[in-house]
Structure 1
Amino acid sequence: MLATPRMRRLVALPIASAAALAMVFTTGHSASAATTTTAAKSATSSKLSTLTAKQVAAKKKMRAKHRRAARIVSASRVAARQKGDPYRYGASGPGAFDCSGLTSYSFRKAGMKLPRTANSQYHRVRKIKKSNIRKGDLVFFGGSRKYHVGIYWGKGRILHAPYSGSRVKVERIWTRGWSAGTLRLRG
């Protein structure tokens, strides 16, 4: 193929101009049209990348919500690894636990702070309806003063350290007199 005068000039031009001329050859549009098209694409891209303050806040909240959910899953995994460990009053791991010791230990290992006792944990979490409970939420037992806590395990079961002489285990919730709390974020 013989080089035309137009092709010879293309070789001598800087790369940006060469791209514009290449567009002229392939599309039949002038270089100014190519530049205009590129500028329009850039402006559109700029508009898409510019978010309102409300959108930025919503994205931050969503990221925080996902981080919190991941920590709750992690706490559930930590607690599951404690199955079979003996119950010991006042113990908070890693070799033995009481009920609130298990929950505070598991959530602490996942990067979340929970107070030491069941009643204090109840006052720290956000209360939710029983119908909204999910795996990893906390189940509390007792009236105005909560005396026992476990981690909801799904299908009406909890993972907990039940009483002296027993071990950390999963079992069905045995009473209707319980309440639910969560460390999940609203929303």
Structure 2
Amino acid sequence: MCTPNRIDLRPASARLSRLGAASLLTAAAVAVPPLLPGAAQQADAAAVSAQALSIAASKKGSPYQWGATGPNRFDCSGLTLYSFKRAGKKLPRTASAQYNRTTHISASSRRAGDLVFFHSGSSGSSVYHVGIYAGGGYIWHAPKTGATVRLERIWTSGVWYGRVN
């Protein structure tokens, strides 16, 4: 809140450096996309992923139903398909097809909104489950018959990550 008659007693250099830093950051934010090819697309992809994550979280408590793609019941890939579709991106229907459609990334590169794939072998066709990474080692997913969409800690290190572009 502003105090109208208050005098700023900081040295002028401190006030200017603060203004300069803000101006520099603003200028960088405006100039970076044209300077870095693909930066705008990466920002758009991150926004879509964040929106998909929010949509998945909004489905908390929705019942699992094999083959269901929403809006009230889901299986695992149906939840990811629904969430990304509502965020403006099209995904294939099954977990393994979704894995094959994403850009594969390392665990150290993962970020909230990336897909997490559970698998039983070394090929994309061995993917049997998918969720949306929520950060902190957690995913939003539709786990199994009798369960509901929920936030859960990733229970194994044997997962792959994919980014929807």
Fold-level similarity (TM above 0.5): yes
Deviations 1:87-144 (A, max 9, x none): 0000000010000000000000000011110000000001111111111001000123
Larger C-alpha radius of gyration, 1 or 2? 1
2:141 corresponds in structure 1 to 160
> What SS does the aligned partner of 1:180 have?
strand
Question: Does the alignment pair 1:113 with 2:90?
Answer: yes
Q: Structure 2 length as normaliser, TM-score?
A: 0.74
Alignment of 1:51-130 (within 5 A): 58=35, 61-130=38-107
Deviations 1:154-187 (A, max 9, x none): 1111110000000000011111211111125xxx
CA contact (8 A) 2:115 2:133 kept: yes
Count residues in correspondence: 130
Question: Does the alignment pair 1:141 with 2:107?
Answer: no
Q: Structure 1 length as normaliser, TM-score?
A: 0.66
Task: Measure how far apart 1:66 and its partner are.
Answer: 1.6
Task: Measure how far apart 1:57 and its partner are.
Answer: 5.9
Cα distance in 2, alignment partners of residues 166 and 56 from structure 1: 43
Task: Measure how far apart 1:60 and its partner are.
Answer: 6.1
The runs of 5 or more residues in structure 1 that have no matched partner are 1-54
CA contact (8 A) 2:33 2:39 kept: no
The runs of 5 or more residues in structure 2 that have no matched partner are 1-31
Percentage of identical aligned residues: 51
Cα distance in 2, alignment partners of residues 64 and 178 from structure 1: 26
Cα distance in 2, alignment partners of residues 128 and 56 from structure 1: 23
Instruction: Write 1 or 2 for the structure with the bigger share of helix.
Output: 1
The one of 169, 176, 180 equivalent to 2:157 is 176
CA RMSD of aligned residues (A): 1.7
Q: Report which structure shows greater RCO (CA 8 Å, sep ≥6).
A: 2
Distance 1:64 1:88, change over 3 A: same
Cα distance in 2, alignment partners of residues 172 and 78 from structure 1: 19
